[in-house]
């Protein structure tokens, strides 16, 4: 069952910007979980807001589906303990049984049911994931979306053509004669193979030596050589850009791991939760990818956080922040009708009590 509304597709942006757990591609025999934790018709926002902490949480436990209640308590506490409660946070749970989570939109943290199932009852581990995703938002980790990615690669292909066609005055017109611009926008195959014929997915010219049909002798050879140089130049440009994106993604993941760790420990959760999450990744066989560094490298980094950030210092800071903001953040059904909105510090107050006199 797909996520509803605009959260219905796992886009390239979600994959590169903000997943903590790489979609491993490992299948499970379990059938997709039915939607049993829908927020619609469960949140009675018209009720008066409780006046004390115990009553607020009691109401939430009674009103919210179990998984949403868990995430509400964790997000709400991390937000107040880290002074991250100046704007609303939103939470969404997909019934799809994937072991994954991601950050998208503005302050939206999304979980798949499979991840919550693997971490069920372990608030420390769930807090580690929540902290990681909140860090992606707060550090403005903006990944290159699919459309922007293709636009950049098209620009690199055009640059390769420009460099080669500038070598001779009439080479550009010869390249245009074989439809070189189609290769720029098509983005499949390589120039020479696409034009010589039989390349599925490229400019398919099955059985026809297009270049030979248009040109002859030395000119044919020159155009083929030019196409080969274009391929070579583009391959170098593409490899460099892909490596830059890979390094950016890895650095952002390491940064989100580190900041997420401080967020969850400052909120009073046990640091061991992050080790548990990494153990889940290891058991699933998650390896280094374009979007994520190798799990052993992440584990090594996390092991060093306890020295870099003494837990006693973080928890003391968190207690101080919680004391300064003692009233739990309220919640409600977002206007998109599919996400739980955890209100900001000011948004958690009654409008009549704060309205200008």
- Give the global pTM: 0.76
Q: What is the pLDDT along the chain (357 residues), one digit of tens a residue?
A: 222 334 443 333 333 333 344 332 223 333 333 344 567 667 754 455 666 888 889 999 999 999 999 999 999 999 999 999 999 999 999 999 998 899 988 899 999 999 999 999 999 999 999 999 999 999 988 766 778 888 999 999 889 988 888 877 677 776 777 667 777 777 666 665 555 443 333 333 322 344 444 444 456 677 778 888 888 999 999 999 999 989 999 999 999 999 999 999 999 999 999 999 999 988 988 888 888 899 999 999 999 999 999 999 999 999 999 999 999 999 999 998 899 999 999 887 777 777 787
Look at residues 255, 45, 299, 43 and name the one whose alpha carbon lies nearest to residue 136: 255
Look at residues 255, 240, 251, 300 and name the one whose alpha carbon lies nearest to residue 275: 300
Using DSSP's 3-state secondary structure scheme, residue 2 falls into coil
Hey, which bits of 122-264 come out as E strands?
Answer: none
Look at residues 21, 4, 11 and name the one whose alpha carbon lies nearest to residue 293: 21
The pairing of strands 101-104 and 108-112 is antiparallel
Q: Apex CA 206: angle with CA 205 and CA 211, to 5°?
A: 45
Written as six digits, the tokens of 85 are 């409660």
Run of H or E including 153: helix 146-165
The pairing of strands 108-112 and 89-94 is parallel
Residue 96 burial by Cβ neighbours in a 10 Å radius (0-12, 13-18, 19+)? middle
């Amino acid at each position: 069952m797909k996520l509803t509304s605009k959260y219905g597709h796992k886009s390239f942006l979600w994959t590169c910007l903000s997943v903590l757990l790489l979609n491993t591609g490992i299948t499970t025999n379990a059938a997709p979980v039915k939607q049993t934790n829908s927020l619609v018709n469960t949140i009675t926002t018209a009720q008066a807001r409780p006046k004390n902490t115990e009553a607020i949480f009691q109401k939430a436990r009674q009103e919210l589906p179990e998984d949403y209640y868990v995430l509400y308590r964790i997000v709400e506490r991390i937000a107040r303990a880290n002074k991250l409660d100046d704007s609303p946070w939103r939470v969404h749970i997909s019934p799809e049984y994937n072991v994954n989570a991601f950050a998208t939109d503005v302050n939206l943290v999304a979980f798949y049911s499979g991840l919550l199932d693997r971490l069920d009852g372990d608030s420390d581990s769930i807090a580690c994931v929540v902290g990681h995703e909140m860090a992606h938002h707060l550090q403005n980790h903006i990944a290159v979306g699919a459309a922007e990615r293709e636009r950049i690669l098209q620009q690199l292909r055009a640059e390769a053509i420009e460099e080669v066609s500038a070598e001779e005055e009439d080479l550009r017109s010869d390249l245009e004669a074989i439809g070189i611009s189609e290769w720029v926008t098509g983005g499949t195959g390589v120039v020479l193979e696409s034009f010589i014929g039989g390349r599925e997915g490229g400019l398919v010219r099955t059985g026809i030596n297009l270049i030979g049909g248009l040109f002859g002798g030395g000119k044919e050879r020159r155009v083929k050589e030019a196409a080969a140089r274009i391929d070579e130049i583009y391959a170098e440009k593409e490899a460099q850009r892909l490596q830059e994106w890979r390094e950016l993604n890895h650095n952002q993941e390491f940064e989100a791991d580190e900041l997420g760790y401080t967020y969850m420990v400052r909120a009073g959760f046990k640091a061991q939760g992050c080790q548990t999450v990494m153990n889940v990744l290891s058991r699933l066989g998650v390896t280094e990818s374009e979007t994520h560094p190798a799990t052993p490298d992440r584990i090594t980094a996390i092991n060093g956080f306890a020295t870099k950030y003494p837990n006693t210092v973080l928890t003391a800071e968190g207690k101080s922040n919680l004391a300064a903001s003692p009233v739990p953040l309220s919640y409600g059904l977002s206007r998109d009708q599919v996400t739980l909105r955890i209100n900001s510090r000011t948004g958690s107050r009654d409008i009549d009590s704060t309205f200008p006199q």
